[in-house]
């Protein structure tokens, strides 16, 4: 898990638009479990079934999953989950191959790549559902000696990440940072070399926000054509943190761990700092475009938004599960873990660099989790 210092950025989210899970009284006994201790959610959890679940995928949510596991072990004695943070692409593949009980991905299953059909086949002919359990801002993190205050637009960010803007003192960067002493130094792009939902979301943001400057498209593979690739979130953050002049896109907690400076983003309504208030405003604007209990989010309206004070670059990590098709023991354990993650587990997310679930999403999630069979 991440240290408490991440709470300095996101620890006040509960005071804004987001609502943390309500705590229940300590005399409530959830179905299938022991009596609650103080601080547990009032939501009943039916513990039991498979004693050790397996999951794989998004490295962006790894620290959130660690938090969920701790809550799961506390709420359901003797139960556990093994999570392999191999990246979203690998998580989807392993889920479809029935090698894990659920997958973690920062982007929805692709119909054109056959992932939707493959997941349905793995689920005994039933559709897979996307459950957005983890929200987190994506930082444009950089290391540049002498420069700790930097503003970028979607357009200029796109030009940096596709190689059109090559120098830190390029006029396009200088125009957004009047008074800053920008060095005549090469910009060194660091990108994710493995398949990554973070890359997919970042490229979707560039497509929506760059006024046509990003023509490379989106997807889990970086398409900018410049820079140095590193595996996983930790890899890109470590690489960028070790080279003066480097820039990357990475989840907030990893940027903080490697002491990267965080660029402000001007979406047309002024420069927006990545903080609790700006993240909360962005998440409040997210809508569901999936049907029924398949909670796929429409983030394009956020990426291209010019709403004042909203930080427009974030991702939602989905747990990809079978709506039906599990054996009874696996279904019971999956439902128990996800219920705990959506309730008790949310309380520790701000300290790990994430944003707790808005109440509206929490309610939708619990309805979907309950319907898994």
210 in a known ligand binding site: no
Identify the CATH assignment for 137-280 out of 2.60.40.10, 3.40.190.10, 3.90.79.10, 3.40.50.300: 3.40.190.10
- Residue with more model confidence, 305 or 336: 336
Q: What does DSSP say about strands 80-84 and 287-288: parallel, antiparallel, or unpaired?
A: unpaired
Query: Is 278 within any annotated ligand binding site?
Result: no
Prediction pTM value: 0.73
Please determine, for residue 75, whether its predicted confidence score (pLDDT) is greater than 50: yes
Domain with CATH 3.40.190.10 in the chain: 4-135+289-298+316-371, 137-280
Is position 305 annotated in a ligand binding site? no
Annotation-wise, does 196 bind a ligand? Answer: yes
User: Does the annotation flag 59 for ligand binding?
Assistant: yes
107 belongs to an annotated ligand binding site: no
Condensed to tens digits (0 to 9), the pLDDT of residues 237-277 reads 999 999 999 999 998 888 999 999 999 999 999 999 998 77
CATH class of the 4-135+289-298+316-371 domain in this structure:
alpha beta
Write out pLDDT tens, residues 6-29.
Answer: 444 454 344 333 333 333 333 333
The residue ranking higher by pLDDT, 11 or 194, is 194
Task: Report the mean per-residue pLDDT for the chain.
Answer: 88
58: annotated binding-site residue? Answer: yes
Please determine, for residue 350, whether its predicted confidence score (pLDDT) is greater than 90. Answer: no
């Amino acid at each position: 898990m991440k240290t408490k210092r991440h709470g300095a950025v996101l620890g006040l989210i509960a005071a804004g638009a987001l609502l943390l899970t309500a705590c229940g009284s300590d005399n409530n006994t959830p179905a299938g479990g022991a009596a609650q201790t103080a601080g547990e959610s009032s939501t009943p959890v039916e513990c039991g079934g498979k004693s050790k679940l397996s999951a794989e995928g998004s490295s962006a949510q790894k620290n959130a999953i660690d938090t969920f596991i701790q809550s799961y072990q506390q709420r359901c004695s003797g139960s556990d989950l093994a999570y392999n943070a191999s990246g979203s692409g690998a998580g989807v593949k392993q889920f479809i191959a029935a090698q894990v009980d659920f997958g973690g991905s920062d982007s929805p299953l692709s119909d054109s790549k056959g992932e939707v059909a493959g997941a349905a086949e793995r689920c005994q002919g039933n559709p897979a559902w996307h459950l957005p359990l983890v929200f987190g801002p994506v930082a444009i993190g950089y290391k540049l000696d002498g420069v700790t205050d930097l503003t970028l637009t979607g357009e200029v960010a796109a030009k940096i990440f596709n190689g059109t803007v090559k120098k830190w003192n390029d006029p396009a960067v200088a125009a957004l940072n009047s008074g800053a002493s920008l060095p005549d130094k090469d910009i060194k792009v660091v990108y994710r070399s493995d398949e990554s939902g973070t890359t997919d979301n970042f490229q979707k943001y560039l497509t929506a926000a760059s006024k046509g400057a990003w023509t490379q498209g989106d997807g889990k593979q970086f398409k900018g054509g410049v820079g140095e690739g590193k595996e996983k979130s930790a890899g890109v953050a470590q690489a960028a943190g070790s080279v003066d002049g480097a820039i990357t896109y990475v989840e907030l907690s990893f940027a903080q761990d490697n002491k990267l400076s965080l660029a402000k983003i001007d979406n047309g309504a002024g420069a927006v700092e990545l903080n609790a208030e700006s993240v909360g405003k962005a998440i409040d604007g997210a809508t569901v475009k999936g049907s029924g209990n398949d909670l796929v989010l429409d983030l394009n309206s956020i990426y291209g938004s010019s709403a004042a004070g909203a930080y427009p670059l974030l991702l939602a990590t989905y747990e990809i599960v079978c709506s039906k098709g599990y054996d009874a023991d696996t279904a019971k354990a999956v439902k128990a873990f996800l219920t705990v993650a959506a309730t008790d587990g949310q309380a520790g997310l701000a300290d790990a660099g994430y944003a707790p679930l808005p109440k509206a999403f929490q309610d939708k999630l619990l309805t979907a989790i309950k319907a898994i069979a």
